[in-house]
Structure 1
Amino acid sequence: MYKLLIVEDEMNIANTLKNHLEKYNYDCNIVVDFERVLDVFQDFQPHLVIMDINLPAFDGYYWCRKIRQVSNCPIMILSARMSELDQVYGIENGADDFITKPFFMDVVLAKINGQIRRIYGEYAEDSQTRILTKGNTTLNLDTVRLSTPEHEVLLTIKELQLCSMLLEAFPNVVTRQQLLTVIWDEETFVEENTLTVNIVRLRKKLETIHSSLEISTIRGIGYQLTEKKL
């Protein structure tokens, strides 16, 4: 079942969307705390976000940018403000599509179905090259999710880059310098402790999904992804 996050402060609209979309087997969650949209997103791990622009505290463009820092999940803007400038600004902030208020439910459903098929289903491009698998663990580079047959977790962009490098090098060692050079812009100074922190987070997420993989520290060199010995 695909999960949809609805970020809309007009509760009658949010509930109408939820009630209608659930009839088509979508699992919908409505945000109620508009200062914690990113926290709700990371806890719920939706496959698609419906995002209003005029929101309390921070506007929808702000939350689009925040979500884009951690995920490539499709974002559909829901707004009465849909001039050409609004659409350009939405795209620049990470939106994938637009729903104009007032809207027809059939159009909303068609747009959602189209995004789901494009990203996760029959229309997904290069699906074979965008998925990395080792042991019981799969990394989907498009959805930014790390999963096993029973569990799934959303990664941040940094965790995604680290995980993909380690999987592609498996079972070889990746040096700290290689990770730092590829993941962070050379123009930006990053303390090596930042890499350590992200490795620790990735380790915890591998444990959370009961992965057969583990990250080993090779002292003085870097990190190695290996399968656990049973």
Structure 2
Amino acid sequence: MYKILIVEDEMNIANTLKNHLEKYDYKCLVIVDFERVLDVFQDFQPHLVIMDINLPAFDGYYWSRKIRRVSNCPIMIISARMSELDQVYGIENGADDFITKPFLMNVVLAKINGQIRRVYGEFAKDSQARILRKGNTVLNLDTVRLSTPEQEVLLTVKELQLCTLLLEAFPNVVVRQQLLTAIWDDETFVEENTLTVNIVRLRKKLETIHSSLKITTIRGIGYQLTEKSS
């Protein structure tokens, strides 16, 4: 289920969008604390953001810049003011598309569906070097997210490197020394349990998102990423 964050201070508009989009199997969250937009974004980890320009505290351009620093997810600006200058400024601050108030709900839905297909679905660029898929699990190297259709999590740098190596080797075993050499510049200075700790953390994140993949320890050799038995 794709998630949409709605950043709109006119609650009647925000709730109208939420109620309509949820009919089409989108999971929506409406911002209520407009000083914590980035925090809510990082907690919710949406696939798309609908962003008003005129907001309390900071405007939508400010929050678009903040979001763009940590994510490549589509941002759709929604506003009654949508001059050519506004659109140019929106693009410069990270916007991908625009919705002009008042709007037709079917047009909004079509725009959202288009962005979702472009970034995540059938029209997504075939970027094999940037996206790795196995089973029900997707690793996005650009957004540093590990996801399934049910849920997604952010990875640390080390978790990302480990996950990438294991996915690229799937279903073969990756020896411990290879992981240490690839991830740490000088493995002689790595404590014995450092790799183990990071593997444990990555295992937990796979479980959190209900991945069909599992990491198996091959004693005395290394680790193997495989699919769970059905």
TM-score by length of 1: 0.71
What displacement does 1:97 show?
Answer: 0.5
| Aligned equivalent of 2:205, options 185, 194, 208 | 208
Tell me if structure 2 keeps the 8 A contact 1:71–1:157: no
Residues 1:160 and 1:72: Cα distance change in structure 2 (over 3 Å):
farther
Aligned to 1:145: 145
| CA distance, structure 1, for counterparts of residue 183 and residue 116 of structure 2 | 37
Aligned to 1:19: 19
What displacement does 1:201 show?
Answer: 8.9
| CA distance, structure 1, for counterparts of residue 158 and residue 84 of structure 2 | 35
Aligned to 2:117: 117
Tell me if structure 2 keeps the 8 A contact 1:71–1:155: no
Deviations 1:86-138 (A, max 9, x none): 11111111111010111111111110111111111111120544322579853
| CA distance, structure 2, for counterparts of residue 91 and residue 107 of structure 1 | 20
| CA distance, structure 1, for counterparts of residue 77 and residue 19 of structure 2 | 19
| CA distance, structure 2, for counterparts of residue 67 and residue 160 of structure 1 | 22
TM-score by length of 2: 0.71
Tell me if structure 2 keeps the 8 A contact 1:70–1:156: no
Tell me if structure 2 keeps the 8 A contact 1:136–1:212: no
* Amino acid across the alignment from 1:96: D
- 5+ unaligned residues in a row in structure 2: which ranges? 187-193, 208-212, 217-221
Tell me if structure 1 keeps the 8 A contact 2:167–2:225: no
Residues 1:104 and 1:135: Cα distance change in structure 2 (over 3 Å):
closer
Tell me if structure 1 keeps the 8 A contact 2:9–2:56: yes
Equivalent pairs counted in the alignment come to 203
Residues 1:34 and 1:202: Cα distance change in structure 2 (over 3 Å):
farther
Tell me if structure 2 keeps the 8 A contact 1:69–1:157: no
- For residues 83-94 of structure 1, the aligned pairs below 5 Å read 83-94=83-94
Aligned to 1:181: none
Instruction: Give the share of equivalent positions with the same residue, in percent.
Output: 69
Please report the RMSD computed on the Cα atoms of aligned residues, expressed in angstroms. Answer: 3.7
| CA distance, structure 2, for counterparts of residue 36 and residue 28 of structure 1 | 17
Residues 1:136 and 1:35: Cα distance change in structure 2 (over 3 Å):
same
Aligned to 1:41: 41
- 5+ unaligned residues in a row in structure 1: which ranges? 179-195, 215-224
